[in-house]
């Protein structure tokens, strides 16, 4: 389905507003504006270096893992296996948190349980294995282990409660949005 210009403008209006504000800032306060534009450019380059590999891996996941397998291991009724897989995927992931959102979309599209996707995102943000190793060397293993245990418990509770407090309509909308093509 081809999108019209008004729909594209509506979808990217926040980006366009921020871009125009950046330009306006560069005109009004050149030193701050140029610094802002420089940071924006650097962040764009960083995103362009991270996003393509994530999309390649997602394409492979989409092709190689059947919906039936995903439902079996991460869908409704997957139990502790789905929870552990969610933690593993998030903890083993590389890249910044914004990389978790396309992964979450593919998992939802394939039939993953919403709380398991929330767990994956929580693990992605707080329990990455390389970060834990660095933290243990800097803060000590006792601190790292305590924080990890608290994070795991917190992620599980937050994922469970979030799914329980969402209405059926809200859950349906999340699943529907994961099916949209970009």
Other Cβ atoms within 10 Å of 55 Cβ, number: 15
- Both tokens of 135, joined, read 């933290």
89-115 core/surface letters (b: 16 or more CB in 10 A; e: else): bbbebebeeebbeebbbbbbbbbbbbb
Which of 27-36, 53-62, 77-86, 154-163 is least confident?
A: 53-62
Where exactly are the structural domains of the chain? 1-51, 65-178
Cα distances (angstroms) measured from residue 62 to each of 48, 56, 58, 111: 21, 10, 6, 12
Q: What is the pLDDT of residue 15?
A: 87
Report how far residue 41's alpha carbon sits from residue 74's, in angstroms, rounded to the nearest whole number: 38
Long-range contacts of 163-166 (CB under 8 A, 24+ apart): 163/113, 163/114, 163/115, 163/118, 166/114
Q: What's the distance, CA 101 to chain centroid?
A: 3
Q: What is the pLDDT of residue 11?
A: 83
pLDDT band at 181 (very low <50, low <70, confident <90, very high): low
At 99-142, the pLDDT tens digits run: 899 999 999 999 999 999 999 999 999 999 888 999 999 999 99
Most confident of 43-47, 49-53, 108-112: 108-112
pLDDT of residue 158 exceeding 60: yes
Average pLDDT, the chain: 90
What mean pLDDT comes out for the span 19-48? 89
pLDDT of residue 1 exceeding 70: no
pLDDT band at 81 (very low <50, low <70, confident <90, very high): very high
Contacts of 158 (CB under 8 A, 6+ apart): 118, 122
């Amino acid at each position: 389905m081809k999108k019209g210009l008004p729909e594209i403008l509506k979808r990217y209006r926040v980006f366009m507003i921020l871009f125009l504000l950046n330009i306006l800032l560069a005109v009004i306060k050149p030193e701050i504006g140029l610094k802002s534009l420089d940071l924006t450019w650097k962040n764009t380059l960083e995103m362009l270096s991270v996003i393509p590999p994530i999309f390649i891996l997602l394409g492979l996941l989409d092709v190689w893992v059947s919906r039936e397998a995903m439902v079996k291991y991460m869908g409704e009724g997957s139990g502790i296996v789905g929870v552990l897989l969610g933690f593993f995927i998030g903890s083993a992931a590389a890249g910044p948190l914004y990389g978790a959102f396309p992964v979450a979309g593919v998992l939802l599209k394939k039939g993953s349980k919403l709380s398991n996707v929330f767990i994956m995102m929580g693990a992605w943000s707080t329990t990455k294995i390389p970060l834990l190793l660095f933290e243990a060397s800097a803060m000590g293993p006792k601190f790292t282990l305590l924080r990890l245990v608290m994070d795991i418990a917190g992620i599980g509770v937050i994922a469970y409660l979030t799914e329980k407090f969402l209405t059926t309509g809200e859950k349906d909308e999340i699943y529907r949005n994961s099916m949209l093509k970009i």
